[in-house]
Amino acid sequence: MNRKKYTILGLSATLLTIIISVFWIFPLYWGLKTSLTPDMKTVAFPPTWIPHPLTFNSFTYVFKNSPILRWYLNSVFTSLVITVVVIILTMFCAYALSQLNFRGKRLLFLFFLAGFMIPGATNVVPLFMFMNRLNLVNTYWGLILPQLAAPITVIIYKRFFDQVPKELSDAMCIDGAGEFRILFRLFLPLNWGVTWALAIVLFTWSWNNFFWPFIILNSTPMLTIPVGITQVQSAYGVQYSETMATAILAALPTAILYIVFHRQVAKGIAVTAGLK
């Protein structure tokens, strides 16, 4: 009886998973189908499920009529810089909070917790005013600097650094190792998995970020891919196939990144969601 009960429960869970997967995949399929359909037929009724005739004109149009390659370079450059700098800075901060004793340590950690709890959208206006005073609007510095604040990464790193046995670091101290050597020879190797997971999640988050680049950038060549999608238009109104082609091209790098590193991405999401 119990085995039958568990079998029915498993089949129900599998069926529910399939239904949810269909609802999740359908918009992706429809976007790809729209990008491969002639623009005049994208609003045809009744709609067709398979693009006919199959055409890649929308992708050709995007490459010829927009600086999408420059947008790619902007996104790659800013995402890599943000990922590398955030990983290094938050690693140092987490190590200090976890292993060093200094006055105001608990208060500083409370500040990181407060920064994690405050919605990012509430800081947009003062950040923009600050960047404007520094003459960093529409610059790479203005785009990158505000995105370097990642208190959640500090909290995650600290949580894993706290789990490293104290005896290991004490043994290295006896051998004459300094704090930098302990960090890079002991703590970092023991947490390579978490580091890779956080790096991939940070890169994907930075690549897909729309809100701040949309506010701080005001010239077409400086745009990143998510903001550049909004620039694909003409005097004839919305071009559905060209817009969807741009969206497909924008999502392609992160999709490939997920396929290659899906285990690390899942681990990064798990450690972030499981944070207490």
Region of poorest pLDDT, from 197-206, 223-232, 267-276: 267-276
pTM of the model: 0.80
Q: pLDDT for 256-266, tens place per residue?
A: 877 777 776 66
Q: Which of 26-40, 76-90, 97-111 has the highest mean pLDDT?
A: 76-90
Domain ranges of the chain: 67-231
Q: pLDDT for 54-71, tens place per residue?
A: 778 888 888 887 888 899
Q: pLDDT for 111-165, tens place per residue?
A: 887 777 777 777 888 889 999 999 999 999 999 999 998 888 888 888 888 888 8
Rounded CA separation 63/180 (Å): 47
Taking Cα atoms as reference points, which of 244, 241, 234 lies closest to residue 53? Answer: 241
Taking Cα atoms as reference points, which of 233, 252, 235 lies closest to residue 243? Answer: 233
Q: What is the pLDDT of residue 276?
A: 44
CATH of 67-231, one of 1.10.3720.10, 3.40.50.1980, 3.40.50.300, 3.40.50.2300: 1.10.3720.10
Q: What is the pLDDT of residue 213?
A: 92
